[in-house]
A and B are shown apart, each in its own frame.
Chain A
Amino acid sequence: DIQMTQSPSSLSASVGDRVTISCRARQTITSYLNWYQQKPGKAPELLIYATSTLQSGVPSRFSGSTSGTDFTLTISGLQPEDSATYYCQHRATFGPGTRLEI
């Protein structure tokens, strides 16, 4: 299986900030890189699929992009409800997660 890394493992930011979370694959992967948001005690929810396509209902302040084997989740204009752990995923592999505290 392809190994995925995420950075940072955790971060703290303020309402209105712009943050980026990185996900790196150990080898070249297809564009099926997905991002999920998980709040404490809740199931994960799909945010972005195929690198940059926003899932229906997800606010437009979330966006995804790629540069080769590096993938980025950007949240522009942080809101208090964005406090969560974010996971990238490709096929059978999830990244270790990034905990975002607002």
Chain B
Amino acid sequence: QLVESGGGLVQPGGSLRLSCATSGFNFSNFWMSWVRQAPGKGLEWVGQISRDGGEQYFGGSVRGRFTFSRDNTKNSLYLQMNSLRAEDTAVYYCANEGSGTTFVSWGQGTLVTVSS
């Protein structure tokens, strides 16, 4: 199970930190990803973090503004979003990865709205 939290309304230029609490699988054995979906739009990969957190890769639209972290002792994943823009408004999902960047299990999502 994956449960995201931390979404809400934030002003342009602001920051927000999302959390993803996991259970039911060996969290430290999995790469983890964030995927987002703007209202009425398709899915967009935000980025991923390696099992030990030592590697991170980002989608082009968030590179330099978003960072990932994880706490394997708490089975939790985090997404730090800075310099937020209106176009970052979306439901943000966390997902664990299988081989070949397959998103195996997803959380229910948390809505981030960037607006003044």
Binding site for B on A (CB under 8 A): 1, 30-32, 34, 36, 38, 42-46, 49-50, 55, 87, 89, 91-97
Dominant secondary structure at the A interface: loop
Supply 28 A–B pairs (Cβ within 8 Å), ascending by A.
A1-B60, A30-B100, A31-B100, A34-B102, A42-B108, A43-B93, A43-B108, A43-B109, A44-B43, A44-B106, A46-B103, A49-B99, A49-B100, A49-B102, A49-B104, A50-B100, A55-B104, A89-B43, A89-B103, A91-B100, A91-B101, A92-B45, A92-B59, A92-B101, A93-B45, A94-B43, A94-B45, A97-B42
Q: Decide: A32 and B106 in contact? CB cutoff 8 A.
A: no
Binding site for A on B (CB under 8 A): 35, 42-45, 57, 59-60, 93, 98-109
Q: Decide: A43 and B99 in contact? CB cutoff 8 A.
A: no
- A-B CB contacts (within 8 Å), total count: 57
Distance from B47 Cβ to chain A, minimum over Cβ atoms (Å): 8
The answer to whether residues A94 and B107 also contact, given A32-B99, A49-B98, A49-B102 and a CB cut-off of 8 A, is no
The answer to whether residues A44 and B103 also contact, given A49-B98, A92-B59 and a CB cut-off of 8 A, is yes
